[in-house]
Structure 1
Amino acid sequence: MAHAGFIEKVFLNNNKLSGSFMYIENLIKMANDISAFFQSEPDRELAVGGVRDHISKFWDPRMRNQIKLYYQAGGEGLSDLAKEAINRLA
């Protein structure tokens, strides 16, 4: 799981994220769980696309925005696959 001190620092210093400390930990876990499912895909591009597509189709726009902001702040605790997919979200 992401380092709590890092998350607190990001959220306290970013008004767009403040008040969402516990919420982002759930989003990190969800993104990593989705990534774990696609990790067995031998084609990395298909795996990244699968994670990206899942987040795009099934996450509320507010959830997508929060995880993108978190990724842009460093994304500590996100798997490499999750980071790649989040980076490609529109």
Structure 2
Amino acid sequence: MDASHLIYMANQIARNLAAQGEEAAIAATAQHIRDFWDPRMKATIYAHDRSGLDPIARSAIARLAAG
């Protein structure tokens, strides 16, 4: 799984949900990734450098990675 493509995808999800407001967008982004990404995708993005993530996507990934 290519981490740069996963970062691109996570940023797209976050941007599409940003109009909901920051906290709602973080929760919705995390929920989308939890529901629709397979375990390999999640493991790859959790282990990768998160500096390329937009703030909403970064917060959603951090929330998911923390459990």
TM above 0.5? yes
Q: Which has the higher contact order (CA 8 A, sep 6+)?
A: 2
1:49 corresponding residue in structure 2: 27
**How far 1:34 moved relative to its partner?**
0.3
Task: Structure 1 unaligned segments of length 5 or more: list them.
Answer: 1-19
Query: Matched residue of 2:47: which SS?
Result: helix
Instruction: Give the alignment partner of residue 44 of structure 2, picking from 66, 80, 83.
Output: 66
The answer to whether residue 54 in structure 2 is matched with residue 79 in structure 1 is yes
Higher-Rg structure is 1
Length, aligned pairs only: 65
> Over the residues paired in the alignment, what is the CA RMSD in angstroms?
1.1
After superposition, what is the alpha-carbon deviation per residue over 1:47-75, rounded to whole angstroms, capped at 9, x for unaligned? 111000000000001100111111xx4x1
TM-score of the superposed pair, with normalisation by structure 2? 0.89
Q: Moved runs in structure 1, 4+ residues, more than 4 A?
A: none
Quick one: distance in 2 between partners of 1:88 and 1:77?
A: 16
More helix by share: 2
